[in-house]
Amino acid sequence: MNAKLHLDRNHLQHLYREMLRIRRFEAKCVELYQAQEIRGYLHLYDGEEAVAVGVLSALQPGDAVVATYREHGQALARGVPMERLMAEMLGRQEGCCRGRGGSMHVFDAGRRFFGGNAIVAGGLPLAAGIALADRRLGRGSVTACFFGEGAVTEGAFHETMNLASLWRLPLLFVCENNLYAMGTPLADADAEPEIHRRAEAYRMPATSVDGMDVVAVEAAAARGVAHMRAGEGPFFLECRTYRFRAHSMFDVQAYRTREEVEDWRGRDPIARLRRWMLDNRHATEAQLTDVDQTVEHELAAAVAFARAGTPEPVEELERFVSMDHVPQEAREGGRP
């Protein structure tokens, strides 16, 4: 099936605003992490915003999303309120997971955002299960599963691809190919660096798209979603993108050069869309300045909300945690 985008001014400005919200959120997270207000691991999405925004713009509210541990962007684009996400980052009870998920495990059941997964390729089998359940329940939904290029060498990736094809599941595989599996260059680890071609082994339609172009990503995702809603089975989408920051806050980036990073920064998806809209008179400088200011106000409010939040009381640390397998002596603080 064909899927056509309605690229009017409002939609283009929506795409711009959503990418900018992610970029500003991530920059603020760096500040808060350096100030030790955010603890633990922190994996940022700077540079990859077009993938999350493009794909999620092609979905409907009833569809499901499974992300990776670099999932702030997908969460915001899915509609998780910025203040609740920021509260989660700061470990507050007002966060979307009561502060227990933190950066790597964002979850929002009401928005069918089935969250981040710290295990490489760990979300893929879960996505297949969700897609299978939706089909059996007759919901007419599709599931989008995000993963990095490092996941394609894992057994779970191939097992899920195989079952999705065999069972014709409505599952959109979204590979965020940012060239490095943590610090390992793709060309040094994969005999076939054109990842979308792996779908051929499972008789699955696939396409590769410029992941720094939000319009191209949305168009490709819309084609995949239309394919699945027509009952034609899964679809594989490879988005060639790049993270501007390190893999995590502990990464010294010895595996890539500053020149390479700067070259990719020249393809910044936000600046690219901004220029295109201005050049084609889809927005004015004043309109985009208004968008910028609106995002800054939203971010400031989110930080204030999170800082005013409630830390988890010590008395509730065992709430939501099953202790059935723990010996009684250990529960009481003794040795088992």
Distance CA 144, CA 223 (A): 13
In this prediction, residue 51 carries a pLDDT of 98
Provide, for the chain, the percentages of residues in helix, strand and coil under a 3-state DSSP scheme, each rounded to the nearest 5: 50, 10, 40
- Fold annotation for 9-331: Rossmann fold (3.40.50)
Report the range out of 39-43, 232-236, 311-315 with the highest average pLDDT: 232-236
Task: Please give the share of the chain, as a percent, with pLDDT higher than 70.
Answer: 95
66 falls in which pLDDT band (50, 70, 90)?
A: very high
- Model confidence pLDDT, tens digit, residues 1-38: 345 567 789 999 999 999 999 999 999 999 999 999 99
In this prediction, residue 333 carries a pLDDT of 55
- Model confidence pLDDT, tens digit, residues 207-258: 999 999 999 999 999 999 999 999 999 999 999 999 988 777 777 777 888 8
Residue 334 in tokens: 């003794």
What is the residue whose two structure tokens read 């089935």?
114
Task: Please give the share of the chain, as a percent, with pLDDT higher than 90.
Answer: 74
Within its chain, how far is the Cα of 165 from the centroid?
Answer: 23
Could you tell me the pTM of the whole model?
Answer: 0.91
Helices (H), the chain: 9-34, 49-57, 72-78, 82-89, 123-136, 155-166, 186-189, 214-229, 258-265, 269-279, 285-307, 328-331
Distance CA 53, CA 78 (A): 8
In this prediction, residue 335 carries a pLDDT of 45
| Mean pLDDT value across residues 52-65 | 98
Statement: residue 188 has pLDDT above 50: yes
In this prediction, residue 166 carries a pLDDT of 97
In this prediction, residue 330 carries a pLDDT of 60
Query: Between residues 117 and 113, which one has the greater pLDDT?
Result: 113
In this prediction, residue 327 carries a pLDDT of 75
In this prediction, residue 329 carries a pLDDT of 67
Backbone angles phi, psi at 239, to 5 degrees: -110, 115
In this prediction, residue 106 carries a pLDDT of 94
Query: Between residues 253 and 89, which one has the greater pLDDT?
Result: 89
- Model confidence pLDDT, tens digit, residues 156-182: 999 999 999 999 999 999 999 998 887
User: How many beta carbons lie within 10 A of that of residue 98, not counting itself?
Assistant: 17
In this prediction, residue 322 carries a pLDDT of 77
CA neighbor of 237 nearest in space, from 171, 286, 327, 285? 171
Query: For 97-101, 186-190, 298-302, which range has the lowest pLDDT when averaged over its residues?
Result: 186-190
In this prediction, residue 4 carries a pLDDT of 57
Backbone angles phi, psi at 229, to 5 degrees: -65, -20
- Round the average pLDDT of the chain to a whole number and report it: 91
Query: Between residues 232 and 192, which one has the greater pLDDT?
Result: 232
Domain boundaries, the chain: 9-331
Distance CA 290, CA 292 (A): 5
What is the residue whose two structure tokens read 């490709």?
220
In this prediction, residue 3 carries a pLDDT of 54
